[in-house]
Structures are given as C-alpha cells and as structure tokens.
A and B are shown apart, each in its own frame.
Chain A
C-alpha cells in the first residue's frame, strides 16, 4: 500500500529520535551521493539561516524569517521532485529553493530589499516568493492545471504553513485542485506556530492532513523533521501527480509536522508566547543530528567527511554573503521598468521625474542613512 493511503493520523516516519530506522519502515532507495547531498543541503540551509539572522542583527540585512528546525521538510521535499517539476514557495522556503538550485546570493538580495533576488532564473522551475498567506496555493493549482491542459506530466508543489490552512485561499486552491484533478502537491509546513497563535487555534481538526478528505484526494501526515520520511511521501505524491494509476486522484495534501526553533521573523520575540521547555522538547527531534546519526551508522559519513562538508559550507555561505553585499544597489529605474510590458505615460513620467530629482539633489540627499 502506498504511504499516501494511510490514515491521516498515522504519521509517516522512517527514523526514530536517535536516527535509527524504525521497524517496518522503508528507507527510500537513493544512492549514497544523494543521501549525503540531502545532509549537505540541510546543513547548508541551517548555516545560511544562522548567518542570515546574524546579518539582520548587525544591520546588514532587513527582516528575515528563519527556518531552523524545518530543513528536513524543505530540502527533502524539494529533492524528491524532478527538475521539470515546479515549486511555489512561501517566504520561509529558503532551504527548498536552495535545494532546487537557486543561489544564496539571490535569496540574500531579496531580503536585502532588491526584487532581482526574486527574479528566478529561467532554467529553474521555482515560482516567485509569495508573502501574503496562502495566496500562492491557487497559483500553484492554476499552473498545475495549465500544465495538465497542455498534456504535460509534471508535478507542482506548493508550500504553506499551518496558519495558511485557515485562509480561504487554502480551501479554494485545494477545492479547485480536487475538482479539476490537477497534478499539485499541497505541502503544509506545520511548524506549530503562526507567529504567536498555536496550531490548536487554527483548526479543531485532529490533523491538517485529514482536510484532504473534504477535497476528494489523499492527505498524509509525515514527520517533517525526518528527511527520509518526507522524501518518501513527496516522491510518491509526485509520481502519482505525474501519472496516476487508474482511479487515483492526482493531488495530495502533505502535512509535515515540524517545529520552528527560532522566531517567526527577526522582528518577533517568541519568548512572549511559548516556553523554552516546549522548544527543548522539539529540539530532541532536530533533523540534523538525527539524520547525521543515520548516515554515520550506515557508513555514509564519518568525522572527516562531516568536517569537509562543514568547512565547504562555511566558505560557500561567506562567499554568497560577500557577493550579495558587493552587488551594486538596484538601479532606481527598476522601480518603473517592470510595472507593465510597455510603461504607461504616468509610469514613464514617474521615471523621468525621479531621474531629474536625482540629478537635482544627488543620490546621497535622497537616500536615508
């Protein structure tokens, strides 16, 4: 039986807290290189996250939404897709888009206030980051629908949080997805907290996964801090989306149960609304040591290789930060150049006016310290 057909309350898990494979669990059939790459990308996401928070604290970057604790859900789900599949990220999916191949420099540029950081490269099937909660869900449904109408066999995966499941666009996006049987995976990063409001105040449902039943397709709950379990269910969901068996519905709702170790954003103080004891409870499930233990136990990692990965990651992130900070500021004309295909008279007039203003006063006078 496919893991997608389990009861939504029967959480899929491969590794226990100590990283041991659970009895009866299936380890995804990956080559050693992919197993290690999954680890490397999770470490990279964690390190990137730490450095990004620190950049914000030093005043070198604006508000940033950290992801620590959520690396397994993001990286393993992204790696479980094929290059021609698409992902639709929310604002916290730095790990997922990194795993898809977006440079960290671009992610940093975005959080440093430059839209060019959200200009996904043409060869990456990653949609732009969407900030308003749940609004990207109908976009993914629509794109998946368009792809199906064109006769393609691609999977689309859209990320959102537990808070998003309370929004109307969650319902409308999944409902359209079910009615038109679109190849979309609805991936809920249930990190327990929507800023300060706990999961229990978002829904009285026992699980989020069970909501899929109302839309006529499968919903599955997975340990979102277990990369092997996340990989497994996402891979199966993507296969089904691309080529469903007779009688199968293409969409799947995946509820990845996990925890946000840090704040909602660097502007948030979680100590106001949750206890350190709760955080510590969840830290026992930290995907990094857990997965590392699995890889060491199975002979895929040792001290030497971990050290090598660590130093490579540190260098890679430093390089990206340097590149982002060295990047020229975006040109003021950029404000106007992408509003319409052809600028309207008022957009064009605004551009001319700003140019004249800069000439008259100089950029230094216009830019705040």
Chain B
C-alpha cells in the first residue's frame, strides 16, 4: 500500500472512483490507453470514462467500432507491443464474442511464448443484476474467467477498493478481468484518496468481524450480506469476508476465518452450479475440514437464466434470503 500519511480525499461513488483510477494512471503512464464502445466523447454509458477524452485525446481514449472480439483482440496486440490498454466491454453479458480472445490468447500469451510476449491488459466490464435492465445486462459470470489460468479476476465492492484495485490491475504485468458491480456504481460515496494508490490483487478484506459464522461474498452482494449480518447481530455474530479478487483467491484469509468460526456460507448472485461458491467450499474441505461444525451453505442465484427485471428481485439474494442461509449454517 502506497497510501501516504497526509492523504487528501474526496467523497466518490464507485463509478467515479473507477474514473479517478483511469485518469490518474493515464496521467502517470503514457502507455495506458482506454478503448471501447462509447468511451470517448460520450464518456462511457455509465460515465466511467467521463472527461478522459477531453484530457487525453483521440489517440489515448479510443472509441472503437462495435465489436467486442475486435476490441479485446486488438488490445492484446497493443499490449504485446508494449502499451497498457484498458478495454471496456459495455456489459459483461456482451463479452462473449471476446471470450475466445480472452481465454485463448490474453490468458495464454506468456505461457505460449515462454515469456517472450506478455499481455498487460485490463478488460473492464460492469456486471450483475438489480438495475432493471433488458436481457443480457444482468449476468454474473465471473466463474467463466476464474476457470482460466493466466487471468486474474477482480471485483471491487467499495469506491476505495475500486480505485486501488483498478490501479493495481493496470500496473499488473498480466491480464486482469475487472468486473464492476454496476448496481452499486452510485449507491453510496466514501472518502477516496487523491492520487494513485494500490489495493493489492489477491487479498480479501474482512468487512465485519464475528465469531459464529464466516460469510464469503464479493461485489454487489457485499452490501446485502452486511445488512443481513447486522440484522442477525445480537443473535448470531457474523464475520463477513469480501473476496475482492476471485482469482487468485485469498485462501489464507478464507481459511483463517473458518478456523475461527467453523461454520460458513457463501453469497453470490451467479447460479449455484459451478459458481465460485463451490470453489470456496471445496477449498475449505481441503484445508480446514477438521474445523467444520456444520454443512456450508451456498446462497446463490438460481440455476436459471437471469430473468427479466419484473422477476429479478426473486432471483437475486437479498438480506432476508442471506440471513436465512446464515441461520441454516449456524442452526445445524
């Protein structure tokens, strides 16, 4: 952490913190460029790149043709040639034309060339439900990317972390898929330090300490999980661990919490089958079985396609559902 002692801060939303990170890194390093659909003059459909085009111009803030594989594929070529592109995919649900480029090339370039070529690329995409959006605008498919060696997958849950993690992602010598919880893009503000600082990739944060049960979550699910924990307070002492990085996962923090509590639940909005929750549960089985006192609960989206928004509130875990799941982990 390069946070200095006398830090000035601004109260920023998560999306403003993303923009702040991009601005600071572009000002610091002229190899950093931003590219994607509507990221230029328009400033991004969520305003994540607002003001960057005015500050850095056409050559560094590039409105591309509407083509996800083209965006990521050309960004890989740029990264291999020495630039540090930050490519925006407008919604995670539209990333699949670029999936081949991400998993077949970005993730493998270093290995394939035995280090001769590398891919210091960040692919940003807003993810997740709860914003009353049309089809394909609400998915949480972080597990697709976490399954691919060679990638890192980062999901911030606060403005402070969004800025620090994005700066780390841009400086990372390997490709990072950076998923932004769009439901909480503007949900709250918090003091965000001016200037560049890093939040390390691969380190989870304990958001709430507790003795009875460990609840693991990330991104937009962190807030309803904290609410559920507060609602249970006095009855159940809940520890909330925000993963922040999905891959590589902070196994030490995950296990340390479980060793203390012996009970656990995972909360994610992605479908249960093959979700990151399964990875966490399997890891606890491997690393900390002897501490386990109850079945571990997975509080997840359903194994269905994400519904249109008239029904999305039934799909997404909310504080009531999360609290129920935590109780099941505790009352066994």
- Residue ranges of A at the interface with B (Cβ–Cβ < 8 Å): 115-116, 118-120, 122, 127-128, 130, 132, 135, 137-147, 149, 168-169, 172-173, 175-176, 179-180, 334, 338-341, 344-347
Leading 9 A-B pairs by shortest Cβ distance: A142-B77, A138-B73, A172-B70, A142-B74, A344-B248, A119-B114, A139-B77, A146-B81, A143-B77
User: What are 20 inter-chain pairs, A to B, with CB distance below 8 A?
Assistant: A118-B112, A120-B113, A120-B117, A127-B80, A128-B116, A135-B105, A137-B73, A141-B70, A141-B73, A146-B82, A169-B69, A175-B67, A176-B74, A334-B114, A339-B111, A339-B150, A341-B172, A344-B247, A344-B248, A345-B251
Most buried by A among B101, B116, B249: B116
Known contacts being A175-B67, A176-B64, A344-B202, is A142 close to B73, with CB within 8 Å?
A: yes
Chain B hits for A179, CB < 8 A: 64-65
Chain B residues with CB below 8 A from A172, complex form: 65, 67, 69-70, 73
CB pair A142–B150 under 8 Å, yes or no, is no
CA distance A133 to B106 in the complex (A): 16
Task: List residues of chain A with CB within 8 A of the CB of B116.
Answer: 119-120, 122, 128
Residue in contact with B173 in the complex, picked from A116, A137, A341, CB distance below 8 Å? A341
B59 is an interface residue with CB less than 8 A from chain A? yes
Name the contact of A143 in the complex, choosing from B70, B78, B174, B247 (C-beta under 8 A): B78
Q: How far is the CA of A135 from the CA of B109 in the complex (A)?
A: 12
A292 to B54, CA, bound (A): 59
Identify which of A116, A127, A138, A168 gathers the most chain B CB atoms within 10 Å of its CB: A138
Residue in B62, B74, B100, B152 whose CB lies within 8 Å of A141: B74
The CA of A47 and the CA of B291, in the complex, are separated in Å by 65
User: Which residues of chain A are near B64, meaning CB under 8 Å?
Assistant: 176, 179
Residue contact A168 to B69, C-beta cutoff 8 Å: yes
Q: Mark B79-115, 1 if CB is under 8 A from A, else 0.
A: 1111100000000000001001100110001111111
B308 CB, nearest partner CB in chain A, Å: 28
Decide yes or no: A173 and B74 within 8 Å by CB, A135-B101, A340-B150 being known contacts: yes
A128 touches B77 (CB 8 A): no
Q: Which of B65, B82, B112 contacts A176 (CB 8 A)?
A: B65
What CA separation (Å) do A132 and B65 show in the bound complex?
A: 23
Alpha-carbon separation in the docked complex, A24 to B174 (Å): 53
Looking at chain B's contact residues, is the secondary structure mostly helix, strand, loop, or mixed?
mixed
What number of B residues sit within 8 Å (CB to CB) of A?
46
Q: Does the CB pair A135–B73 fall under 8 Å?
A: yes
- Contact between B112 and A128, CB atoms less than 8 A apart: yes
Known: A138-B73, A145-B77. 4 other contacts (CB 8 A): A173-B73, A339-B110, A340-B152, A345-B251
B26 within 8 A of A: no
Which residue of chain B is the closest to A347 with respect to CB atoms?
B149
| Cβ–Cβ < 8 Å partners of B251 in chain A | 345
Q: Which of the residues B81, B104, B117 comes within 8 Å of A142, measured between beta carbons? A: B81
- Contact status A135-B104, CB under 8 Å: yes
In the complex with contacts A145-B78, A338-B111, A139-B105 CB distance below 8 A: yes
Instruction: Name the residue on B nearest A182 (C-beta).
Output: B74
Contacting pair B67 A128 (CB below 8 A)? no
- Report B209 CB to chain A, min CB distance, Å: 24
* A350 nearest in chain B by CB position: B149
In the complex formed, the residue of B with least CB distance to A334 is: B114
Q: Given A146-B81, A146-B82, A146-B83, does the pair A138, B115 have CB atoms closer than 8 Å?
A: no
Cβ of B122 under 8 Å from chain A: no
B230-267, CB under 8 A of A: which get 1 and which 0? 00000000000000000111010000000000000000
B217 contacts which chain A residues (CB < 8 A)? none
In the assembled complex, the CB of A353 is this many whole angstroms from the nearest CB of chain B, namely 12
Q: Which residue of A lies closest to B77 (CB)?
A: A142
Confirm or deny: B322 has a beta carbon within 8 angstroms of a beta carbon on chain A: no
Identity of the chain B residue whose Cβ is nearest the Cβ of A122 in the assembled complex: B116
- Docked Cα-Cα span, A118 to B110, in Å, equals 11
- Chain B: which residue is nearest A139 at the CB level? B77
B75 interface residue per 8 A CB criterion: yes
Chain B's closest residue to A115 (CB) is B114
Q: Which residues of A contact B111 (CB under 8 A)?
A: 115, 338-339
> Any chain A CB within 8 A of the CB of B118?
yes
Complex Cα distance, B71 from A211, in Å, reads 21
**B221 on the interface (CB 8 Å rule)?**
no
Q: Is the CB of A176 within 8 A of B76?
A: no
Is the pair A138, B202 in contact by a Cβ cutoff of 8 Å? Answer: no
Complex-state Cα separation, A168 to B97, whole angstroms? 9
Q: Are B73 and A149 in contact (CB under 8 A)?
A: no
B104 touches which one: A132, A143, A346, A347 (CB < 8 A)?
A132
Contact A119 B115 (CB under 8 A): yes
CB distance from A262 to the nearest CB of B (A): 26
Q: Which residue of B62, B67, B81 is within 8 Å of A147 (Cβ)?
A: B81
CB distance from A93 to the nearest CB of B (A): 15
List residues of chain B with CB within 8 A of the CB of A347. 149
Complex-state Cα separation, A24 to B73, whole angstroms: 42
Q: Which residues of B contact A135 (CB under 8 A)?
A: 73, 100-101, 104-105
Residue of B nearest to A348 (CB): B248
Q: Chain A residues with Cβ under 8 A from B152's Cβ?
A: 340
* Alpha-carbon distance A34/B34, docked complex (angstroms): 44
Pick from B62, B112, B202: contact of A115, CB under 8 Å: B112
- What B residues does A169 contact at CB under 8 A? 69-70, 73, 100-101
List residues of chain A with CB within 8 A of the CB of B105. 130, 132, 135, 139
Residue of A nearest to B248 (CB): A344
CB distance from B96 to the nearest CB of A (A): 12
Find chain A residues with CB under 8 A from B65 CB. 172, 175-176, 179
Contact A140 B77 (CB under 8 A): yes
List of B residues within 8 angstroms of A115 by Cβ: 111-114
* Contact residues in B for A140 (Cβ distance below 8 Å): 77
Output the least CB separation between A16 and chain B (Å): 39
**Could you tell me if A138 and B74 are in contact, using CB atoms closer than 8 angstroms?**
yes
CA distance A115 to B248 in the complex (A): 24
Beyond A138-B76, A338-B111, whether A149 also contacts B59 by CB under 8 A is yes
Q: In the complex the two chains form, is B67's CB within 8 Å of A139's CB?
A: no
Q: Tell me which of B76, B111, B247 has the highest count of chain A C-beta atoms within 10 A of its own C-beta.
A: B111
Looking across the interface, which residue of chain A has its beta carbon closest to that of B202?
A: A344
Residue numbers in B under 8 Å from A145 (CB-CB): 74, 77-78
